[in-house]
Amino acid sequence: MAEVEEQPVPASPQSEERSEAGEEAPDGGAVAAAADAVPPPAGSPGTEEAAGDMKKKIDVLLKAVGDTPIMKTKKWAVERTRTIQSLVDFMKKFLKLMASEQLFIYVNQSFAPSPDQEIGTLYECFGSDGKLVLHYCKTQAWG
């Protein structure tokens, strides 16, 4: 399987959008490294999932719906315990949306997961071919 990396800070920005995204990722791969993501300590209760699983990070593929701006980087390696809300916050920054603008995320092109839902759990139940595909849209697509 192809190695999926978080977007590295670009060496030579090709577009304004890309360079600004680069500037905003000093934490190095914004999605996984933000300060509020605290992985559970090893051996703590509730790590049954981690024990049996090979993957610490989930490969997420982001697909735009309709005329929603397209993420320049579509593939991301995301920590299991990242929430949908956390991913949305990151995408809004990356897409340079205003805080007031909404971004809707869909799984299986059929339901919008709760903002506090974890990427790892969604991947367990709805992943395929080693990745979780998420569609996103600025307006409600599948209700």
Partner 1 sequence: MTDDKDVLRDVWFGRIPTCFTLYQDEITEREAEPYYLLLPRISYLTLVTDKVKKHFQKVMRQEEVNEIWFEYEGTPLKWHYPIGLLFDLHASNTALPWSITVHFKNFPEKDLLHCHSKDVIEAHFMASIKEADALKHKSQVINEMQKKDHKQLWMGLQNDKFEQFWAINRKLMEYPTEDSGFRYIPFRIYQATTERPFIQKLFRPIASGGQMHTLGDLLKDVCPSAVDHEGGDLRFFTHCMDIAMCSHRIYHLDKR
Binding site for partner 1 (CB under 8 A): 40, 44-46, 48-49, 107-108, 110-118, 121, 124-126, 143
Cβ 26 to partner 1 shortest distance, Å: 23
User: Taking a C-beta distance cutoff of 8 angstroms, is the pair 132, 61 a contact?
Assistant: yes
The smaller minimum CB distance to partner 1, of residues 115 and 130, is found at 115
The smaller minimum CB distance to partner 1, of residues 25 and 136, is found at 136
Q: How far, rounded to the nearest angstrom, does the alpha carbon of residue 131 sit from its chain's CA centroid?
A: 11
- Secondary structure letter of residue 118 according to DSSP: B
Q: How far, rounded to the nearest angstrom, does the alpha carbon of residue 44 sit from its chain's CA centroid?
A: 25
Cβ 21 to partner 1 shortest distance, Å: 25
The smaller minimum CB distance to partner 1, of residues 7 and 113, is found at 113
- What count of other Cβ atoms lies within 10 Å of the Cβ of residue 72? 14
